[in-house]
Amino acid sequence: MPNAVEVTNTDAEGRLILADAITYAKQQGANCLIDVATLTGGVIIALGVHTTGAMTNDEALFEQLLEASAETGEFIWRLPITEKDRERVQNSPIADLNNSPGREGHAIMGAAFLAEFAENTPWVHLDIAGTSVTTKASDLGPAGATGVMVRTLAAFVERFEK
């Protein structure tokens, strides 16, 4: 578990709060974690406004969530967290982690930072920056806030109960 974080970008404060939430959930005995946040504008550049970005440390948990997503029409697309990405967030001369090691792959860097706190607990991060609001009504709802991933999470939980 990281002890110190170098804050190189104060606009990336959300990931600090999520890191605390992940740590707290683990302390409370969570056996898997799914976080949903409007974490980065970078996911909008990568995936647009119709697909939620997903990053994970656990293939099986992701596959279950992906099935629930397909069932509900709330599409997600997985972005990788590679060893090189982990090295970038671990590259700080004064701390264990850097909260924002550059613009390149910004959505992935946000998730790579969070992955350090999830450690070995199965975890999926869903970045809804592009999908949380819409300007046009669709089959899923009216214009405005979308409530994206609520249907997916409900379907996911229903699968666990069976």
pLDDT given at position 162: 65
CA-nearest of 100, 98, 137, 84 to 4 is: 98
Kindly state the tokens that stand for 12: 């990336």
Q: At 152, which CATH number? A: 3.40.630.10
**Helix residue ranges, H only, the chain:** 14-27, 42-47, 59-72, 83-89, 106-118, 150-161
Q: Is residue 94 part of a domain?
A: yes
Q: 54 lies in a domain?
A: yes
For the stretch 12-63, pLDDT in tens is 889 999 999 999 999 999 999 999 999 999 999 999 999 999 999 999 999 9
Q: Give per-residue pLDDT as tens, 102-137.
A: 888 889 999 999 999 999 999 999 999 999 999 999
pLDDT for residue 154: 97
Residue 13 lies in a domain: yes
As given in the structure block, the two tokens for residue 98 are: 């850097």
Report how far apart, in Å, the C-alpha atoms of 45 and of each of 6, 37, 48, 53, 162 are.
26, 16, 6, 11, 37
Domain for residue 126, yes or no?
Answer: yes
Q: Is residue 1 part of a domain?
A: no
What span, in angstroms and rounded, lies between the C-alpha atoms of 82 and 122? 16
Which residues touch 123 (CB under 8 Å, ≥6 apart)?
Answer: 22, 32, 33, 34, 35, 56, 57, 58, 61, 114, 115
In the DSSP assignment, the letter for residue 138 is: B
| Pairing of β 5-6 and β 97-98 | parallel
Does residue 34 fall inside a structural domain?
yes
Lookup result for tokens 């409007």: 38
Residue 2 resides in a domain: no
The DSSP string of 44-70 is HHHHTTSSEEEEES-HHHHHHHHHHHH
Q: What is the pLDDT of residue 141?
A: 84
Burial of 77 (0-12, 13-18, 19+ CB in 10 A): middle
Number of domains in the chain: 1
Domain boundaries, position 39: 7-161
pLDDT at residue number 157: 96
